[in-house]
Every structure is written in structure tokens, then in C-alpha cells.
Amino acid sequence: MNGIYLDYAATTPMDPEVIDVVAKAMQEDFGNASSLYKLGRASKQKVEGVRRLIAETLNAKVDDIIITSGGTESNDSAILQTVNRLKEKGNHLISTEAEHSSVYQTMRHLERQGMEVTYLAFDEEGHINFDELKAAIRPDTILVSIMAGNNEVGSLQDIQAIGDLLHERDIFFHTDTVQTYLNVPLDVEALHIDALSMSAHKIYGPKGIGFMYYRNATADYAPYVKGGNQENKKRAGTEALPLIIGMGKAIEKQYNNMAGHQAHLNEMREYFLAGAKERGIELQINGPKTSELAHVLNVYWPNHQSDQVLIKLDLRDAYLSAGSACTAGSLEPSRVLVSMYGEDSPRVAQSLRISFGEPTTTEEIDQILDIFESIK
């Protein structure tokens, strides 16, 4: 990789072993997994092998895993299909002001369709107020969608407490786990999660592939993409077998090295913060002061406009971000930072997101801090 890349929350480079299995599948596993002859059956077996692996990582039932194009489709379809199924029971949804756009914009769409949505705020460490969640629940609340881990500030919500509460109230619980999956252990039974999403390109897998977990999918999930009978009649379209196999390899590697991966990410985070302090670079953490999602660190750099800093970094082949990749190029302020600090806070326009990955080295961090020093 040319340059210094510290934007792993936006996307990760494909692992070389993943690239190898994808290339091999493109050459050898071209059979349509819906075909009845031997070549198709072999492809189908590989799809189901990945599905079983995913289920194992979540303590989920195999039939509740639906392979999708990624996090956006999973979030969008899980919410829309649940609302469509339960709308006779109620008209009220709960989410947060700081969700990923694939959840937030879906909620706004549903508001235009006549649903009522309560948006919970984040506090200055990026967490919801649990008492506010309890107070927001109404007799007609049918779904709560709260992300497990925030993609901009790295905060983790108390998914156990949220899941327990909603399970007691018999309210459907959806959570965006695109940043959390295989960075934090997830057990859908213990946590009472009813639906979650994942995108393979966040864990060194291919882009354009991911999955959704949906509790009791066989009975409760109606197809969002209609057509053929693929994905156990839950999502039409010929299976993208090379991408699915690549996702499986990425999951396998990450699942088997969760502890080591997290240790490395925490080491890189602490090295960056210590190095900045030693050099007199006055950064303040936005969000949790101690590591929660280890790979995401959002910092306020007073008197440094984030867009100008990013341009200067780009000219030096150094790549960070000022927020979610899905809002890149937008002049709108980060909804996450606005929720946490208010729209008039200087943090909204003077903050950077540094996100670490498996390939990150101390040498890269020293180089990025050298550049920070040169522009401070």
C-alpha cells in the first residue's frame, strides 16, 4: 500500500489469503448454486458452509442467516420488513440521532410513510441514556434499532441491557453491528438480538457482500429482493459464490484471532495517543475516554479545520477521515458529533477520525504524527 492508511473504519484492504480464495473460486467454482447437477450442488455446499460458520460466530440458527450485499442492504431490509410485518401492532419506532446513514435515512423514509420515530441522543462519550430509552417506549412501539458500536467515535452501547429490556417488553431489537462484528463477541441468544447486520469489507473481506441475522427468518422474514428462490427464498438473485467464499475466509481468520487482533489495535491506539502527547500535539478524545471499539479513535484538534487538515494529509499520501465514509464529500456536519456536543461546538468542524487495522505499524503512526507536527 502506498502512503499511510489509517481509515480502516471506512474499509479494509482484502487479506491476501482472501484474495487467493476469491481468485480460485472464480476459476473453479463457477457453478450456479441453484442448479441441481453436481457442479451446482458443489457450489451450494460451499455457500452453506459459510452460512454455518457465520451462525457459529453468533450462536445463531443456520436458517436465520441471510447473505446480502452488505451492511446497507441488511439494515435497510431488516427494518423495512419488520415494520411491514408488525405495523398492525403499532406505529412507533425508536432509534438514535447518531446511526449510520443506512439506518437513519431508512427511519426518515418511514416517517414520511406515516410512522413515528423517537431519536435518542448520544452523551459526550457516545452512549445513549438508558433511562431515556425506557421512557421512550410506548404501547405502540414495535421496533428499536440502536447500533452496537459507533463507526465515528468508537463507542459501544450496552447491548445486553438493551436486549434484556426489549425482550421483556416483547419489542423487536435490531442492531447495526458492521463495526462490531468480530471486534466484540456477539451472542444473539444471550443478548436477545432479533436482527443484526454485517459487511465483509470491514474485516479484510470483499466489498459487495455481507449478511443479516434475522430471528425466526423462515417464518417472519418476507423477501426484500423478490424473484427466484435463492437464500432459502429470502433473497432472490444468483449467489455471488466467489465473494461468499471470500467472506467466509475473512470471517474464519478474524474469528480465530479476535484476541490477538484486539490487542494489536489497542496497542496502536495507545501508541498514537502517547506519541501525540509527547510531541505536544493537543488532541482531545471525542467519545469514550478508554478504549471500547479499539480500532476507532475520534479526536478534536482545536483551531484546525478538519477539511483543511485532510487536504494537507492527502497531499502527503496520508489517509484519515472526518467521519463516516458514507457522508464523505458532504458539507453537512457529522450527526454523531452534533448529537454529542451540539451543532455550535467547534468539535463538529475540527475533529478527525483515526482508525487502526491489522496492517497498522508504529512506523506509520510516527509518520502521521510527523505530518501533524508539520501543520500544527
Residue 225 maps to which CATH number? 3.40.640.10
145 and 271 assigned to the same domain: no
Structure confidence at residue 162 (pLDDT): 98
> Could you give the C-alpha distances from 156 to 21, 213, 263, in angstroms and in order?
33, 19, 17
Report the pLDDT averaged over residues 80-93. 97
308 and 358 assigned to the same domain: yes
Question: Does the structure show a pLDDT above 80 at 376?
Answer: no
180 and 86 assigned to the same domain: yes
- pLDDT tens digit string along 67-76? 999 999 999 9
Answer with the residue of higher pLDDT: 276 or 322.
Answer: 276
Report the pLDDT averaged over residues 204-233. 93
Question: Which amino acid would we find at residue 277?
Answer: K
173 and 272 assigned to the same domain: no
Query: What is the C-alpha to C-alpha distance for residues 179 and 186, in angstroms, rounded to an integer?
Result: 12
307 burial (CB, 10 Å; 0-12 / 13-18 / 19+) is exposed
Query: What is the C-alpha to C-alpha distance for residues 279 and 21, in angstroms, rounded to an integer?
Result: 44
Query: What is the C-alpha to C-alpha distance for residues 146 and 163, in angstroms, rounded to an integer?
Result: 10
Last residue of a domain, one of 209, 230, 256: 256
Percent of the chain with pLDDT over 70: 97
252 and 203 assigned to the same domain: yes
309 burial (CB, 10 Å; 0-12 / 13-18 / 19+) is buried
Question: Does the structure show a pLDDT above 80 at 335?
Answer: yes
- pLDDT tens digit string along 131-186? 999 999 999 999 999 999 999 999 999 999 999 999 999 999 999 999 999 999 99
- First and final C-alpha spacing in the chain: 26
121 and 173 assigned to the same domain: yes
Structure confidence at residue 330 (pLDDT): 54
71 and 214 assigned to the same domain: yes
Q: Is 326 a catalytic residue?
A: yes
367 and 243 assigned to the same domain: no
Phi, psi angles (nearest 5°) of residue 58 = -115, 0
- pLDDT tens digit string along 301-314? 999 999 999 999 99
Angle of helix 362-375 relative to helix 258-278, nearest 10 degrees, comes to: 30
Last residue of a domain, one of 208, 228, 256: 256
137 and 264 assigned to the same domain: no
Cell of 28: 473453479
Last residue of a domain, one of 203, 234, 256: 256
Structure confidence at residue 329 (pLDDT): 53
| Pairing relationship of beta strands 318-319 and 4-5 according to DSSP bridges | parallel
Question: Does the structure show a pLDDT above 80 at 266?
Answer: yes
Question: Which amino acid would we find at residue 296?
Answer: V
pTM for this entry: 0.95
Structure confidence at residue 324 (pLDDT): 55
Question: Does the structure show a pLDDT above 80 at 327?
Answer: no
- From the candidates 19, 86, 326, 369, give the one annotated as an active-site residue: 326
pLDDT band at 189 (very low <50, low <70, confident <90, very high): very high
CATH number at residue 330: 3.90.1150.10
- pLDDT tens digit string along 22-58? 999 999 998 888 888 888 898 899 999 999 999 999 9
Phi, psi angles (nearest 5°) of residue 45 = -60, -35
Task: Provide the domain limits for residue 268.
Answer: 4-13+258-375
Question: Does the structure show a pLDDT above 80 at 90?
Answer: yes
48 and 179 assigned to the same domain: yes
pLDDT band at 200 (very low <50, low <70, confident <90, very high): very high
Structure confidence at residue 299 (pLDDT): 98
Phi, psi angles (nearest 5°) of residue 29 = -110, 55
Query: What is the C-alpha to C-alpha distance for residues 206 and 13, in angstroms, rounded to an integer?
Result: 8
pLDDT band at 331 (very low <50, low <70, confident <90, very high): low
123 and 252 assigned to the same domain: yes
Q: Work out how many domains the chain is built from and give that number.
A: 2
33 and 127 assigned to the same domain: yes
Answer with the residue of higher pLDDT: 149 or 230.
Answer: 149
* Average of per-residue pLDDT values in the chain: 95
